[in-house]
Amino acid sequence: MVKFDKIDFEDWENFRKVKKQTISSAEYTMICKLHSKYYKHKYYKPCTCSPKKIIRWINDLNKIYNYGIE
């Protein structure tokens, strides 16, 4: 079971606290970096023309967040 390290957990917790329909460029970059780190794939930014992938990545990261901190 994969868990966030302390810093990433706090960053994700802060991201989740803000309820809004859009994400900033910095948040988009954070999502991409965290997903590549914890799902062990090369870092890249999916096309923003369709939000399906980034929404899936957010859901994936929420699963890790729910497991807590290492």
Query: In the structure encoding, which two tokens stand for residue 43, read together?
Result: 């870092």
pLDDT of residue 68: 87
Minimal CA–CA distance to 62: which of 46, 29, 39?
A: 39
Per-residue pLDDT of the chain (70 residues; tens, 9 = 90+): 899 999 999 999 999 999 899 999 999 999 999 999 999 999 999 999 989 999 999 999 999 999 988 7
Q: How far is residue 54's CA from residue 27's CA, in Å, rounded to a whole number?
A: 11
Q: pTM, whole model, 2 decimals?
A: 0.93
Question: What are the DSSP calls for the chain, one per residue?
Answer: ---B-HHHHHHHHHHHHS--S---HHHHHHHHHHHHHHTT-------TT-THHHHHHHHHHHHHHHH-B-
